[in-house]
Structure 1
């Protein structure tokens, strides 16, 4: 007689701690269909997150942190869930997002340069006044 081994992984609380998200956010990702697969459950009904789930959540977090709209995150997730054959669409989606991120990065870098310039001006003024 063979027995089925229970799923091995992290509870939702442990997964939340490891990813830096809340359990509520993880549940939202599941409820909204953003996970690559349905997160398995233990015999007691508790979610069991595996390494692949955590890697996927990390990717979702990075997409959101870099400003990808949730609509596009959902589109990307749906493409990944569909499996092979749509890699060109995934590539296009990520390349378009990358281009937006690079534009934002250039703008932030320019703004940072202006801030550094002002810091230099005030630093010179404070150092002259201190002498």
Structure 2
């Protein structure tokens, strides 16, 4: 089934401008066909690729890396080890991001707990000193020292 750029925009959630940009940058797995009048014609496979491409982008893969991956796909069989290496490198970066986010979440959870306890004690009239828990101390107790703990 052929799709117009407007239909692809609606179904993919990408703007018409973004779709043109992706095409110009060589980010589609297959070349986009055109009508004799020059209008773009998309296929269901293009939508499926856009969904994968959007996941790669939202996970932090650079346009250059996606472009390289597409180039390798278009070359066909014989370069699977290069595709695997590219995806494996990205997988390592995403795993590192997830690890860092887990550390951030630990700090946030610690702070939520500390402030929830403080608020509960304050509301119960147990505290005379209205000073909330020390933010810096919270941070350093919640996670090992590092660049993303503050």
Q: Which runs of 5 or more residues in structure 1 are unaligned?
A: 1-7
Q: CA deviation at 1:33?
A: 1.4
Q: Which runs of 5 or more residues in structure 2 are unaligned?
A: 125-150
Q: Which residue of 2 aligns with 1:33?
A: 26
Q: Across the two proteins, how many residue pairs are aligned to each other?
A: 124
Larger Rg: 2
Three-state SS of the structure 1 residue aligned to 2:40 is: coil
| Paired residues for 1:42-53 under 5 Å | 42=35, 44-53=37-46
Coordinate RMSD, CA, aligned? 1.4
1:128 aligns with 2:121: yes
User: Which range moved further: 73-82 or 28-37?
Assistant: 28-37
- The CA deviation string for residues 34-63 of structure 1, in whole angstroms up to 9 with x for no partner, is 112221234554222211101111111111
Higher relative contact order (CA 8 A, sep 6+): 1
Q: CA deviation at 1:125?
A: 1.0
| Counterpart Cα distance in 2 of 1:27 and 1:86 | 28
- The CA deviation string for residues 61-96 of structure 1, in whole angstroms up to 9 with x for no partner, is 111111112211111110011111111110110011
Which consecutive aligned stretches of 4+ in structure 1 deviate over 6 angstroms post-superposition? none
| Paired residues for 1:1-131 under 5 Å | 8-42=1-35, 44-131=37-124
TM-score (structure 1 length as normaliser): 0.87
- The CA deviation string for residues 97-126 of structure 1, in whole angstroms up to 9 with x for no partner, is 000100011001101110110011111111
Q: CA deviation at 1:14?
A: 1.6
Q: Which residue of 1 aligns with 2:139?
A: none
User: Which range moved further: 121-130 or 33-42?
Assistant: 33-42
